[in-house]
Amino acid sequence: MSKAFSGEMRLRQSMAWIHTWLGLLAGWILFAMFLTGTASYFRPEITQWMQPELRLAPVAPRRAAETAVAHMQATSPDDQQWFIYLPNDRTPETRIFAMPKPDPGAKEPKNRSAEIKLDPATGAALNARDTCGGEHFYRFHFQLQLPHPWGRWLAGLCAIFMLAAILSGVITHKRIFADFFTLRWKKGQRSWLDTHNVSAVLALPFHAMITYTGLIALIVMYMPWPIAANYAKHADFYADAYGREADGDASGKPAALKPIGPMVDAASRQWQGGRPRTIVIRNPNDSAATVTILRSGADRLNARGESITYSGATGAKLSQSSPPGAALTTAGVMLGLHLGNFAGPVLRWTYFLLGLTGTAMVGTGSLLWTAKRRKPGAKPFFGFRLVERLNIATIACLPAGMAAFLLANRLIPAGLEGRAALEVSAMFWTWFGLAALTLLRPVRCAWVEGLALSAAAFAALPLVNMVMTDRGLFTSIASGDWLFLSFDGAMLAIAALLGFGSWRAAQVRVAPPRRQRKAAAAEFRPKELLDVA
Amino acid sequence: MRKRTLSQGISVFGQSLSQFFLLSRRGWRMSARCFTALVGGYAAAAAMASLLARLLPIARVEATMWGMILSFLMFASLGLWAFHERRLWKVALVIWGSTLLSAGIVMAMGIRP
């Protein structure tokens, strides 16, 4: 054996060894992050589905800005700041957060108000059921429902494990293009290996992209050290990178706020038709008032928006964000690629399907770990049973939890106090409760029944929706309500997929152990594992 | 069956105690390797990214951002290499050495004026 060849062999073996450990340690959390992250590509659509009372027609940004300012002028003209999120193609309502003037006596600054939702056409306050909507899956995807900042740190740790697992997986995999066409069904461990390889290789650029850009999304939190090398104050970095936020104080001299409409038009003209997304009005009705208009990321790849600030008292342009350099543009595009806000319907569904292949890659990797170590007849060791049970708890039970979150939205009375938190609890009680129940069943039955219950929960969604709202499947077909129609269709498709999984799990016979080739049997271990004391 | 003496009993007890509370030499070495890969890898990536950000002769906001963008590629590569290289002393030397060296240069240079 030539030296170069054995070196390459050893590299592949060491990478296979570390790939296994990375996947084993982070796999379950990564599965949950992939699945909820995939759902988050439809974040505004899920929110719309979860507030079926709202039926709003699309409105131009200028009109929405005017009605929003009129509403705030009528209700709380003396606030320090208004954050106005304008409606767009996917979120039909105007959302406002208001921040009251700080009380000179109070030590702590006041928090911003609860979200105000408006009908963009009239400026009337909307009254819909309280829910976290799609925002819940989105937040869970990188905060894992843990207290700040631990959830984000844990998600970051799992993401760096994922990145290292992708790199080591690619190195391990010498036949990367040949395996692209290899899928051997009904061959036990071989099939799981092939499924893992196909799902990984098929969308490899997507997996690598989504993992790296995910880390970039929270890079300032995860890797603040380069800032410290160049800036005495972190705030100066933010100002250089994302533009200085208007934080001026009020002058105390009252001055009427100029109409918002011409400012929105001027900004849109300057951006050559780019849509405004957010308007921040600081010190309204004061001579020092500022109006900052931020550009929407929905029409560009770069998610870091430009902004223009106008004087609220005169309407004149005060400042605008400077054009970003190559590094800032790179980071902005990476964030844009991760969030996918620029994607139209076709690309969005593609994102969704690619996200599912990522979920499948992580899931099949975890299953492969057990398939490889299963020895028929022998009593499984503790670690094996632990991994097997955690696989069931994550892969078979998490979908049921997600369906329970959506079911709870329809079943909890619309006016109940604290219902938004109850919906979230429903997800975790169902997920962990079902996971605990599967412990009572033998492994085979636990798979079959867990997946079947998840399938049933998704299949129930269109039915419960039909009973509890006036926007059921047949009404949607008759009225051409595409969002509700697609939602029901997607739930049925997911139910079918989980049902297929359950049926397959019932078919599986434990395959006789494959005769291990010598090369594969000599598993790589770092040196210290070989010096047996 | 031979009767166990007191001293043998103590010795067996001591061995099981040490096995229970202490890792074997192998275990210690593996723990040191994991710690170096995870914590050391992060520290080295942070220090080298900071050095890059400090040295790149472009606008400081751009240099800072390039350092941050590239840091995770360094972390992942260093972490993987830490498990590929057999000699633990070499892993520790490279990772902790590059951390100290890069961080030392950044500190000696001070914050970019």
How far is residue A241 CA from its own chain's centroid?
A: 24
pTM of the model: 0.88
A437 touches chain B (CB under 8 A): no
Residues sharing a CB contact under 8 Å with residue A302, sequence separation 6 or more, in sequence order? A324, A329, A332, A333, A336
| 3-state DSSP assignment of residue A96 | strand
Cis previous bond, A149, omega within 30: yes
B105 touches chain A (CB under 8 A): no
Q: How many residues does chain A have?
A: 533
The Cα of A480 is separated from the nearest Cα of chain B by a number of Å equal to 45
Taking 60 as the threshold, does the pLDDT of residue B2 lie above it? no
- Chain A residue with CA closest to B86: the answer is A527
Chosen for mutation from B68, B74, B102 (greatest number of chain A CBs closer than 10 Å) is: B68
Give the span between the Cα atoms of A192 and A22, in whole angstroms: 18
The residue behind tokens 């105690």 is: B17
Chain A residues with CB-CB distance to B22 below 8 A = none
Band of pLDDT at residue A300, cut at 50, 70 and 90: confident
Band of pLDDT at residue A357, cut at 50, 70 and 90: very high
How far is residue A82 CA from its own chain's centroid?
A: 27
Q: Are A391 and A447 in contact (CB under 8 A)?
A: no
Task: Indicate yes or no: CB of A160 within 8 angstroms of CB of B25.
Answer: no
Q: Are B76 and A167 in contact (CB under 8 A)?
A: yes
Could you say which of A222, A326, A529 has the minimum Cβ distance to residue B62?
Answer: A326
Taking 50 as the threshold, does the pLDDT of residue A523 lie above it? no
Could you say which of B29, B50, B69 has the minimum Cβ distance to residue A228?
Answer: B50
Which positions 326-355 of A are in contact with B (Cβ < 8 Å)? 326-328, 330-331, 334
Q: Mean pLDDT over residues B46-61, rounded? A: 96
What percent of chain A is modeled with pLDDT above 70?
Answer: 89
Task: Indicate yes or no: CB of A223 within 8 angstroms of CB of B76.
Answer: no
A226 touches chain B (CB under 8 A): yes
Taking 70 as the threshold, does the pLDDT of residue A17 lie above it? yes
Taking 60 as the threshold, does the pLDDT of residue A519 lie above it? no
What pLDDT score was predicted for residue A218? 95
Task: Indicate yes or no: CB of B63 within 8 angstroms of CB of A240.
Answer: no
What pLDDT score was predicted for residue A101? 83
Could you say which of A11, A229, A531 has the minimum Cβ distance to residue B26?
Answer: A531
Taking 80 as the threshold, does the pLDDT of residue A170 lie above it? yes
Query: Closest Cα to residue A424, out of A437, A445, A446, A407?
Result: A407
Could you say which of B29, B45, B111 has the minimum Cβ distance to residue A528?
Answer: B29
A225 touches chain B (CB under 8 A): yes
More confident residue, B25 or A71: A71
Chain A residues with CB-CB distance to B77 below 8 A = 167
How far is residue A297 CA from its own chain's centroid?
A: 17
The Cα of A328 is separated from the nearest Cα of chain B by a number of Å equal to 6
Could you say which of A228, A331, A527 has the minimum Cβ distance to residue B65?
Answer: A331
Q: Mean pLDDT over residues A520-527, rounded? A: 45
Band of pLDDT at residue B12, cut at 50, 70 and 90: low
Task: Indicate yes or no: CB of B72 within 8 angstroms of CB of A15.
Answer: no
The Cα of B60 is separated from the nearest Cα of chain A by a number of Å equal to 6
Give the span between the Cα atoms of B80 and B87, in whole angstroms: 14
A400: left (phi over 0), alpha (psi -120 to 50) or beta: alpha
B79 touches chain A (CB under 8 A): yes
Taking 50 as the threshold, does the pLDDT of residue A518 lie above it? no
Could you say which of B62, B86, B87 has the minimum Cβ distance to residue A325?
Answer: B62
Q: Mean pLDDT over residues B81-94, rounded? A: 95
Taking 80 as the threshold, does the pLDDT of residue A108 lie above it? no
Task: Indicate yes or no: CB of B76 within 8 angstroms of CB of A216.
Answer: no
Band of pLDDT at residue A26, cut at 50, 70 and 90: very high
**How many residue contacts between A and B have a Cβ separation below 8 Å?**
130
Element (H, E) at A156: helix A150-172
What pLDDT score was predicted for residue A411? 97
What pLDDT score was predicted for residue A102? 78
Reported ipTM: the value is 0.86
Tell me: the pLDDT tens digits for A119-162? 999 999 998 899 999 999 999 999 999 998 999 999 999 999 99
What pLDDT score was predicted for residue A531? 38
A238 touches chain B (CB under 8 A): no
B53 touches chain A (CB under 8 A): yes
Give the span between the Cα atoms of A241 and A328, in whole angstroms: 7
Q: Are A267 and A279 in contact (CB under 8 A)?
A: no
Q: Mean pLDDT over residues A262-290, rounded? A: 92
Residues sharing a CB contact under 8 Å with residue A310, sequence separation 6 or more, in sequence order? A258, A263, A266, A290, A291, A292, A293, A316, A317, A318
Task: Indicate yes or no: CB of B64 within 8 angstroms of CB of A328.
Answer: no
B102 touches chain A (CB under 8 A): no
Band of pLDDT at residue A3, cut at 50, 70 and 90: low
Least confident stretch, A203-212, A215-224, A376-385, A484-493: A376-385
Give the span between the Cα atoms of A138 and A134, in whole angstroms: 6
Query: Closest Cα to residue A57, out of A28, A88, A23, A92?
Result: A92
Give the span between the Cα atoms of A200 and A179, in whole angstroms: 10
What pLDDT score was predicted for residue B109? 95
What pLDDT score was predicted for residue A177? 56
What pLDDT score was predicted for residue B13? 64
CA distances from A466 to A408, A458, A460, A474, A476 (A): 14, 14, 10, 8, 10
What pLDDT score was predicted for residue B1? 44
Could you say which of B33, B61, B86 has the minimum Cβ distance to residue A328?
Answer: B61
Task: Indicate yes or no: CB of B69 within 8 angstroms of CB of A327.
Answer: yes
What pLDDT score was predicted for residue A127? 86
Q: What's the per-residue H, E or C state across A297-345?
A: CCCCCCCCCCEEEEECCCCCEEEECCCCCHHHHHHHHHHHHHHCCCCCH
Please provide the average confidence, as pLDDT, over all residues in chain A.
Answer: 88
What pLDDT score was predicted for residue A431? 98
Chain B residues with CB-CB distance to A170 below 8 A = none
What pLDDT score was predicted for residue A522? 43
Residues sharing a CB contact under 8 Å with residue A424, sequence separation 6 or more, in sequence order? A132, A136, A145, A405
Chain A residues with CB-CB distance to B51 below 8 A = 229
What pLDDT score was predicted for residue B15? 65
Chosen for mutation from B29, B33, B84, B99 (greatest number of chain A CBs closer than 10 Å) is: B84
Please provide the average confidence, as pLDDT, over all residues in chain B.
Answer: 88
* Number of alpha carbons in the 13 Å side-chain half-sphere of residue A479: 12
Task: Indicate yes or no: CB of B72 within 8 angstroms of CB of A215.
Answer: yes
